[in-house]
Structure 1
Amino acid sequence: MQDGHAAARSDGYFSDFGSALRYWRTRRGYSQLRLAVDGGVSQRHLSFLESGRAQPSRDLVLKLGIVLDVPLRQRNAMLLAAGFAPAYQERNLSDPELSSVMQALDFMLRQQAPFPALVVDRLWNLVMFNEPAAGFMKWLLGLPSDAAIPRDGSINVLRLMLDPNGLRPRLVNWEAVCADSLSWIQREAMADGPGSEATALLAELSALPGMAALSDGHVPNLDRRALPFLPLTIAHQGVELNLFTTITTLGTPHDVTVHELRLESFFPADGPTAAWFRENFAV
């Protein structure tokens, strides 16, 4: 095995293919029999794969990854653990081959104006945003209008939201919002498995003041205003804004980076909030 593959394999969260397969089968609630039937292999062979008594072919690793709906990054990790090269590329967003994807995302961001929208990666690092989102962040953080908001992933949106020194003091319903936000990175950590960046970020965020109670099962108040969504209520400089958000992912990507991008769009939950954004961020 090449050195590059060995390094990637050591960071792949599982020391061997059997452990990875067993983790994902259990995570998806599959019995060995069900996975054997859906994967077109015998239950005996599947048992041997999980115990390390047999090694899979590359095609079988890919097939089982599809059946179990394993994220592309983890499919690569499973391939590496089985001794194969990754099947899915992971490009930088500046790669020319991703220019059409970036153009599509930019189009969607612009269409969201005058309301904020932003693009984050799987760890909720900020990589793209529209002008209303930039202006909204500057207003909330008390930054000058000409301040630059980096697009290099150096700002983590969850860290910014959950930190008492960040935006949390502006959130009227911060317990519900933080619990909901924390659930996103919890899902990433469960998907990545032990030893991952997502697991480390989850530990960091869970250690913030006030977060322990939320991670122990805080349940948002679903009766509040009888809304069909979790509201995001912000109070700052005498202004109260009521928003909700939607998360959009790209349908059927074959690139790890694209697969992990999320477009978060903010919408007004009432008329006064809509009017405030149109007054301040209309193009």
Structure 2
Amino acid sequence: HGEPFPIAGAIEDKSALTGFDMVSKLEEDDFARVRYVVDKVGPEYAHFAVIPDPFKISWRLRGGMQQLLMDYILDPELVHALARIATDYYKAAAEMAQAAGVDAIVMNGDLAGEETTIMSPDAYREYIKPSHAEIVEHVHNLGLLIIKHTDGNFWPILDDFLEVGFDALHPIQPQCMDIAEVKEYVAGTACIIGNIDCRNLLVYGTEAEVEQGVKATIAAAAPGGGYIVSSSNSIHPGVRPENYIAMVRATGRYGRYDDLQDHQT
């Protein structure tokens, strides 16, 4: 489980920026599996493509997050250049995803830990938010929705996310964000997704405990609309299959809006 972590990046210094291009590396075959799923499952379900956040693309190009965060202080010009590369790539990838038939894009990449954001809010606004705004506008112009995924406590930049125009926020990690508070804050502006604890509940809990957890989360977040049940990160290999099934069944039982009020007690 997980993903490869770079020990070296393609951009070792500013000299490597000359002629560097990620857009030309994109191929239609990169979205072959997306097209397969869209064709196989059909239009009655929503289809999503996951594309890394430009912040994530940037730190991978630099060989690690630590290096990019040092660049914030030591070489802002390089950081802006990386953001331009990542943003152009993202927009081109979104166009290919749209051509493959998806309904929404998930911008995947953590910007926060459990205490606070990885970078200061000012650094987010300087180096990342402009890319987010440009990408969100482009994705909307393609007729798609866009979901921002970040684990951790992103309260310090939540207003920025809303200003940028993300349609949904995922996963509202229960260890550091109260979903009822988030729902009240963003109601009518953005949808919220997630919050079913995949660190403890879905791994170690009983099926009955999962059902109660789903019921409580729906009661806190669903009234008025704008909540999608999901785990607090992913359905990773540590999740008990029985608990995943229990989560799905509980969602079906307690998640109908026409009788939601009856299940809140």
Task: Specify the TM-score bucket, using the shorter chain as the normaliser.
Answer: under 0.3
Normalising by structure 2, we get a TM-score of 0.25
